[in-house]
Amino acid sequence: MLYPKTIARLIEELCSLPGVGPKTAQRLAFHLLREKPERVEALAAAMLEAKQRIFSCGVCQNLTDVEPCLLCADPARDRSSILVVEEPKDVLALERTGEYRGSYHVLHGVISPMDGIGPGALRIGELLERLKDGGVKEVILATNPDVEGEATALYMARLIRPLGVRTTRIARGIPVGGDLDYADEVTLARALEGRREVG
């Protein structure tokens, strides 16, 4: 079907978003065209403002609109421990647990050889920089427990250990509320490895 140029362009731009195929892009485009002008303006303004005002924190690389970010500026956070995650959304997930009081480092990605993404594309150098002054006692690697996340953790552990900083990996095992019988053998094997004393 042939659309006016402006609609075709909108569809094309929407198509470049992750997870949006041509059909979804078309649906979104027509949805926007049906909306009141002020709704569309608000959306466009929000996108633009976020893009203009958000940058990565010079310390932890998390997305922020102040430098350093609120977490890095918080005097109550323990700076001797850095928890390394793949994406900003992982920081939110960990903060929701209320369990962790240290600081973070966001890699903005993960080593993915099949996609041609190597360690150079991640914020690893910035992390090593933070370890230089000796104040950090532990780095906790909390990348996802998939192949890419494992590879990234292994690679980073290799770089960090020689610096004499304790390097740990988050435990993996049976999910809460899960059935032993329901777990696959890899998960079971790891859960067994990660066992600890009770009582």
Partner 1 sequence: MPLYRTEGICLRSYELKEADRIVVLLTRDQGKVRAVAKGVRRPGSRLAGSLLPFTHSRLLLHRGRELDKVVQCEAVFGFRALREELERMAAASYLAELADGFLGEKDPNAGLFPSFLASLHLLAGHPDLRHALVLVQGLLLASLGYRPELDICVHCGADLEEGREAVVYHPGEGGVLCGRCGSERKGRGTMTISRGAWQTLRRLWATDPGRLTMLRPGKAVRGEMETLLRATMIHRLERRPKTLDFLDLVLRESE
The binder of 59, among partner 1, Zn ion, none, by C-beta within 5 to 8 A per type, is Zn ion
Does residue number 128 form part of the binding site for partner 1 (CB under 8 A)?
A: no
Residue 125 binding partner 1, by CB under 8 A: no
Burial class of residue 92, CB neighbours in 10 A (0-12, 13-18, 19+): exposed
**Residue in 41, 49, 67, 146 binding partner 1, rule: CB under 8 A:** 146
Q: Which one of residues 63, 155, 165, 170 is an interface residue with partner 1 (CB under 8 A)?
A: 155
- Which residue's CB is nearer to partner 1, number 20 or number 40? 20
Q: Tell me the window of 55-63, 80-88, 126-134, 180-188 that interacts with partner 1 (CB under 8 A).
A: 180-188
DSSP state of 36: -
How big, in percent rounded to 5, are the helix, strand and coil portions of the chain?
50, 15, 35
String of DSSP letters for 92-140: HHHHHHT---EEEEE-SS--BGGGTB-GGGSTHHHHHHHHTTS---EEE
Choices 26-34, 74-82, 90-98, 147-155; region in contact with partner 1 by CB under 8 A: 147-155
Adjacent-strand bridge partners of 139: 82, 167
Nearer to partner 1 by Cβ, of 63 and 121: the residue is 121
Question: Of partner 1, Zn ion, none, which one does residue 57 interact with (CB within 5 to 8 Å by kind)?
Answer: Zn ion
Please give the backbone phi and psi of residue 20, each rounded to the nearest 5 degrees, phi first: -105, 115
- Name the residues that contact Zn ion, by CB under 5 A: 57, 59-60, 68-69, 72
Phi first, then psi: give them for residue 152, nearest 5 degrees.
-65, -45
Binding site for partner 1 (CB under 8 A): 19, 111, 113-116, 118-119, 146-147, 150-151, 154-155, 158, 175, 177-178, 182-187, 189
